[in-house]
Structure 1
Amino acid sequence: MDKESSKKVRERGIAIGTLHTGRKNCITDVPGVSVGHVTLDYPLEGEEYACTGVTAILPHGGNLFKEKVVAASYVLNGFGKTTGLVQVNELGVIESPIMLTNTFGVPAVSQGTLEYILQENPEIGDTTGTVNIVVGECNDGNLNSIRQFPVEPKHAIEAIENASTDRSQEGAVGAGKGMVCFGYKGGIGSASRIILDEENNREYIMGCMVLSNFGGKVEFPFDRYPGMKPQIDGIEKVTDGSIIIILATDMPLSDRQLLRVAKRCGIGLGRSGSHFSHSSGDIVIAFSTKNKIPHESEEVFQTHSYIREDHPIMNQLFAGAAESTEEAILNSLSQAVTTKGRNGLIVESMFS
């Protein structure tokens, strides 16, 4: 990877917001959260090209089906093809890795993720119920030959098995390999914020990961980010594009509170230049790792502690969601490398 393109925006002198970042400034700052990528980058027949991939976000390192996490999702604009979010919002939990890929890769990634979970849990579909697979997507059809279906179920399994709690790779990797943002190379970006409970001298972490694939080159607010002046012109995008935003925290929040926090991700998205275009799928998936929900229990009631709604720390959470989303988007641009795809198209890094 080119050294200049691999920089986070803070290394370019751009600091977003007022809250402090976590040690890695990545979603994996949230304890237990891991990320894995599989990147597909090779020529196919003729002018076709596999320029795509899969990214897996695991809320914890245990068995997600047996130990679910509290979750919610929020749709800013619904031009998307995600799976599993209806049940997430109905029951308020996530019980699978959160998978990201290209639009036409959703069926294969769903199947691969299902195969992985069934292998871990032979009782699913037999002595217990089914499992809800969560997959988000963006259309990488500018660079990737999506009609050739390069993503296969095995790539989903590999991404899950690759997952690590280390600082994640960002830019043109995994599901972000073929994505275009504001006419430049986009993809995977991440950031984190420390949420400080001063009364009890405790710190919590909020982490964000985005799959950025939205916006035209005239929409990016270069005057807001003077350190991000491009060296070359971007391309004109064929479609409005999309973004998937994954928000994680170790703060004890209910699914309703997570929904409130998830809505604030739209502020960070708007600050980056988006206006949630007509054919853009702008979707937030949020979860808390604090209160795990067992799949089976003989108890009639379960008791958890959550933050009080009127506590001032709630405003820190709102600010953290906005700030980390904005910075994650900038990091997806700042760390992406120039990429060649189908029909000889080249999408330049903003910092080529």
Structure 2
Amino acid sequence: MTDDELTARRARDLGIVVGALPTGVHNALTDVPGVRVGHTTIVDPPRLHTGVTAIVPDALGPDRRSLPCGLFVGNGFGKLIGATQVAELGALETPILLTATLSAFRAADALVTYVLASPGHETTRTLNPVVGETNDGRLSDIRARPVTEAHVLAALDGATPGAVAEGCVGAGTGTMALAFKGGIGTSSRLVGDWTVGALVQSNFSGTLTVRGVPIPADDGAVPAGTDRPGTGGPEPEGNSCMIVVATDAPLDARQLGRVARRAVFAMGRVGSDFTGGSGDYALAFSTPGAASAEGVPRAAEVADGDLDPLFAATMDAVEEALLNSVLTATTTVGHRGTATAVPHELVLRRLRDAGVLAAGRPGQPWAAGPAS
């Protein structure tokens, strides 16, 4: 099977399995009940490769003005709009938007427009929009700030349950990660009756590591002369990662902060070098269960001593989402450089050589070594 035939395949399509926990039906953030995802992609090559990704919790509405939410800042070199109020109150009042750095402020204004027009907000006079970003300024003309209110509203209104587009889409259209083309990735895990889902916008440096096996771009994985962030080539203006975790486990904001911390930790599994210029953030929110469907605030029902399975699910889901973000991305010739897609055959060959995957054909069941 050629590299072209392997284009835009997810980790599990290639036989790369992270952890032992089962995934949800779509192996996506949307496996968490009541969570939808929408994208608006803006492409005008080579100048523009950018967009918006919207995470919409259906529970926010006339009967529920906020959801418990935790935040962890791995490194604060970023512009996460709304972060201080989330940290202070442990509450998420709006959908979460992801976009490019210099478009975050217009996106926040558009998000306010969207929420103020929603039922139940006829008299609202204060609101905390939450917008995350990474810098796509190498592949897109970030100074043009092409994201408009119409783009934001389209992502919000177009948010759907089910399968989620990944790679060069929405807020991941122009990102670069681990010396390759980055993008949007998602994954989920089931923990008993609960679901944990993750979605990432990857745009950070380091050495791509797949189930413990390094895939360095300076070892023939990227053609000579190509931009290779983190490998001695030109560095992008911002090396960042936005991670959003959702769960239907009944956790309070403090516990969700602990979940968010593990989400950032998972970046180390795929080879992040956590540079000083990287804005690494994780938001984790909990959707209401049936018992609180009428908007009655919930007390935490999970004891701290019982959080370990949710921590494990979070780290596995984030790790796989990060791998999906690069494995599904495609080579992009951009505004000031080129980002090369991860060569799938090279990854699989190195995993087989390391004894992580047994010989087989992509798309069919693989004999795998111990789960990471």
- Structures share fold, TM-score greater than 0.5: yes
Which of 313, 327, 339 is the aligned partner of 2:332? 339
Measured in 2, the distance between the counterparts of 1:128 and 1:269 equals 38
Measured in 2, the distance between the counterparts of 1:165 and 1:274 equals 30
Letter of the structure 2 residue corresponding to residue 206 of structure 1: V
Q: Is the 8 A contact 1:55 1:175 kept in 2?
A: yes
Deviations 1:259-306 (A, max 9, x none): 1111111331111111321000000000000269x9x99x9xx55352
Letter of the structure 1 residue corresponding to residue 171 of structure 2: A
Could you tell me which residue of structure 2 aligns to residue 279 of structure 1?
A: 277
Could you tell me which residue of structure 2 aligns to residue 199 of structure 1?
A: none
Give the 3-state SS of the residue equivalent to 1:318 in structure 2: helix
Which of 39, 61, 74 is the aligned partner of 1:63? 61
Unaligned runs of 5+ in 2: 230-234, 345-372
Measured in 2, the distance between the counterparts of 1:335 and 1:29 equals 19
Moved over 4 A (4+): 121-124, 225-231
Measured in 1, the distance between the counterparts of 2:103 and 2:143 equals 10
Q: Compute the displacement of 1:228 (Å).
A: 10
Q: Compute the displacement of 1:4 (Å).
A: 1.7
Letter of the structure 2 residue corresponding to residue 170 of structure 1: E
Matches within 5 A, 1:146-295: 146-196=142-192, 203-216=193-206, 219-221=207-209, 224-225=212-213, 232-233=222-223, 235-237=227-229, 238-239=235-236, 241-290=239-288
Unaligned runs of 5+ in 1: 197-202
Q: Compute the displacement of 1:67 (Å).
A: 3.6
Which of 105, 108, 111 is the aligned partner of 2:106? 108
Letter of the structure 2 residue corresponding to residue 332 of structure 1: S
Q: Is the 8 A contact 1:72 1:89 kept in 2?
A: yes
Q: Compute the displacement of 1:325 (Å).
A: 1.0
Q: Is the 8 A contact 1:208 1:247 kept in 2?
A: yes
Could you tell me which residue of structure 1 aligns to residue 322 of structure 2?
A: 329
Evaluate the alpha carbon distance shift between residue 6 and residue 305 of structure 1 in structure 2; reply closer, same or farther with a 3 A threshold. same
Could you tell me which residue of structure 1 aligns to residue 301 of structure 2?
A: 306
Give the 3-state SS of the residue equivalent to 2:288 in structure 1: strand
Measured in 1, the distance between the counterparts of 2:121 and 2:270 equals 45
Measured in 2, the distance between the counterparts of 1:279 and 1:305 equals 36
Q: Compute the displacement of 1:231 (Å).
A: 5.1
Letter of the structure 2 residue corresponding to residue 211 of structure 1: Q
Measured in 2, the distance between the counterparts of 1:65 and 1:241 equals 39
* Most deviating of 160-169 and 259-268: 259-268
Measured in 2, the distance between the counterparts of 1:111 and 1:325 equals 29
Q: Compute the displacement of 1:55 (Å).
A: 0.2
RMSD between superposed Cα atoms in Å: 2.6
Measured in 1, the distance between the counterparts of 2:298 and 2:191 equals 24
Give the 3-state SS of the residue equivalent to 1:136 in structure 2: strand
Could you tell me which residue of structure 1 aligns to residue 42 of structure 2?
A: 40
Q: What is the aligned-residue identity percentage?
A: 39
Q: Compute the displacement of 1:166 (Å).
A: 1.5
Measured in 2, the distance between the counterparts of 1:88 and 1:39 equals 28
Could you tell me which residue of structure 1 aligns to residue 365 of structure 2?
A: none
Q: Is the 8 A contact 1:65 1:96 kept in 2?
A: no
Measured in 2, the distance between the counterparts of 1:109 and 1:33 equals 20
Evaluate the alpha carbon distance shift between residue 223 and residue 63 of structure 1 in structure 2; reply closer, same or farther with a 3 A threshold. closer
Measured in 1, the distance between the counterparts of 2:84 and 2:144 equals 29
Could you tell me which residue of structure 2 aligns to residue 19 of structure 1?
A: 21
Could you tell me which residue of structure 2 aligns to residue 200 of structure 1?
A: none
Letter of the structure 2 residue corresponding to residue 145 of structure 1: D
Give the 3-state SS of the residue equivalent to 1:245 in structure 2: strand
Evaluate the alpha carbon distance shift between residue 222 and residue 204 of structure 1 in structure 2; reply closer, same or farther with a 3 A threshold. closer
Q: Is the 8 A contact 1:139 1:179 kept in 2?
A: yes
Measured in 2, the distance between the counterparts of 1:73 and 1:64 equals 25
Letter of the structure 2 residue corresponding to residue 108 of structure 1: R
Measured in 1, the distance between the counterparts of 2:36 and 2:28 equals 10
Name the one with the larger strand percent.
1
Deviations 1:160-187 (A, max 9, x none): 0110001110001000000000121101
The answer to whether 1:29 aligns with 2:31 is yes
Number of residue pairs aligned between Structure 1 and Structure 2 = 330
Q: Compute the displacement of 1:5 (Å).
A: 2.0
Measured in 2, the distance between the counterparts of 1:80 and 1:139 equals 9
Measured in 1, the distance between the counterparts of 2:59 and 2:166 equals 21
